Chain A
Amino acid sequence: MMAGVGGGNDFQWCFSQVKGAIDEDVAEADIISTVEFNCSGELLATGDKGGRVVIFQREQESKNRLLSRGEYNVYSTFQSHEPEFDYLKSLEIEEKINKIRWLPQQNAAHFLLSANDKTIKLWKISERDKRAEGYNLKDEDGRLRDQFRITTLRVPVLMPMDLMVEASPRRIFANAHTYHINSISVNSDYETYLSADDLRINLWHLEITDRSFNIVDIKPANMEELTEVITAAECHPHQCNVFVYSSSKGTIRLCDMRAAALCDRHSKFFEEPEDPSSRSFFSEIISSISDVKFSHSGRYMMTRDYLSVKVWDLNMENRPVETYQVHEYLRSKLCSLYENDCIFDKFECCWNGSDSAIMTGSYNNFFRMFDRNTRRDITLEASRENSKPRAMLKPRKVCTGGKRKKDEISVDSLDFNKKILHTAWHPKENVIAVAATNNLYIFQDKIN
């Protein structure tokens, strides 16, 4: 059991909800491609390969239901991106949502950015619970009233109506990326955000769609000389001039936008030294960083590569301060993981609200949590079999040696099609959202 956020109590993860269809045949469009809580944790957004966004809202905790925290129910759903065609290159542009990032809430409406491979959109989600009735020129169903029948002037009155949640695209940030967008990140100045593709990073102003600043460009003059690509990027949570980006070679560069307009020269370069004698064909591939996330404190950052999660102190560039093995038993399976392309899977990682724990996904619908203080770790499974309300999740174990104990699963029995690539942790509470292909699981810690 892991020490809890609330000061020393062990917590026990329990099933809360699962969303999505049960059928075995998963339509590609239903595969969840991103999960993100908003800044308060009241809303939870998912994006999928079909370009759709579904937003869940936590219901208010009622005094009657003390035993469970509020559940997440559908709040809004809309088609964010549609398939497009690039006629010039004769290529299809997928509608798959790569990332969703929420803007901090500033008024009654909620705003989020959603990005596919080429275009970022700013969506406004607002509630309407009143409508005006008693118009002079038209009647209630919108038809124009017969002018001769209008004999008096009346003032329309606002009447309550059933809550309607509307999503409307407020900005479309297009045509700024030649390569595929892998990251978007809202800046702490609440005015700008960055978007990163394989070779370039752009800085946008939220109000301006017809131009953006290119702040990183690693495209070589001769593409034959290409040795690495950008894999992820994020703005610092407090310092609006600082951002980081990770590469396919396992390095992270921290850049300061005050230093130059084009941040091709990094301010800090993070790389763990590699033992040259242990180098293999797979070394570079498995060192490729698939996700980078700053801690809430802004003092640390976490990177995810194929087999591990590393925590870096921003003040120390030459090695990470903590390394956690996610599924080291896969090291002896790299050949087949290369052949079935699994070695290129991009796992994400996330911090809990207090930065005391981190979480990331694995195969067989397993996900892993690490407590940074106690150094304890746990493997849990997102499965319909453990989906009784408030059922406690049992820790899972993968057997690597010869003798398999009861309840353990051997490496060769793992289902590599059941990957948990996207997970999210509520910003303040111990509530987590785990995307398992086309299903979204929500787990909470047991309330004592």
Chain B
Amino acid sequence: MSGEVQASTEEQQEMQDTVVSPEKAEEVKLKARYPHLGTRPGGSDLLRKRLQKGQQKYFDSGDYNMAKAKMKNKQLPTAAAEKTEITGDHIPTPQDLPQRKQSLVASKLAF
């Protein structure tokens, strides 16, 4: 008798979770799209990405040779490699190189 009551309470809780918590529903959606999210080891990806925020990488012959040496026994990385990789793990390609900076002009707020 008590087992049945317990089961229905759990069911109710689950129903409540998706009905009451929009956040949990969103999480379910996200995990469905990215099943490997949060399973990669080695510290928080988000924090590391944050520490290297927006940093563009230029070609560096030292990086290039180090990466080549590391890759000797592995497959080459795909072209869509993350720009947030730590120095030495990533071989920059011409597509990764950023555009040249604009020349410095006056702010439009000053007019």
Contact = CB atoms under 8 A, between A and B. Distances in A.
Interface of A: 19-21, 27, 29-30, 32, 46, 48, 50-52, 54, 74, 77, 79, 82-83, 85, 89-92, 94, 179-180, 198-199, 223-229, 248, 278, 280-283, 285, 331-335, 338-339, 344, 438, 440
A280 B87 contact: no
B30 A335 contact: yes
B47 A54 contact: no
Contacts, number: 116
Given A54-B110, A90-B58, A229 B26 contact: no
B104 A74 contact: no
Interface in B52-105: 53-60, 63, 87, 98, 101-102, 104-105
A344 to B, nearest CB: 8
A91 B21 contact: no
28 contacts: A20-B109, A29-B105, A30-B108, A30-B109, A48-B109, A50-B104, A51-B104, A52-B106, A52-B107, A74-B109, A77-B106, A85-B58, A90-B87, A91-B56, A223-B43, A225-B43, A227-B44, A228-B47, A248-B47, A280-B27, A281-B37, A331-B23, A332-B26, A333-B26, A335-B26, A335-B27, A339-B30, A440-B109
A331 B27 CA distance: 11
Nearest to A27: B102
B55 A92 contact: yes
B106 A334 contact: no
Interface residues of B, number: 42
Nearest to A30: B108
A96 B106 CA distance: 14
Given A94-B54, A248-B47, A82 B104 contact: yes
A83 B43 contact: no
A338 B30 contact: yes
Contact of A226 (B26, B31, B44, B108): B44
A281 B31 contact: yes
B38 to A, nearest CB: 7
B47 A280 contact: no
A349 B73 CA distance: 52
Contact of A48 (B37, B46, B107): B107
Contacts of B51: 179-180, 198-199, 229
Given A224-B43, A229-B50, A50 B25 contact: no
A23 B109 CA distance: 13
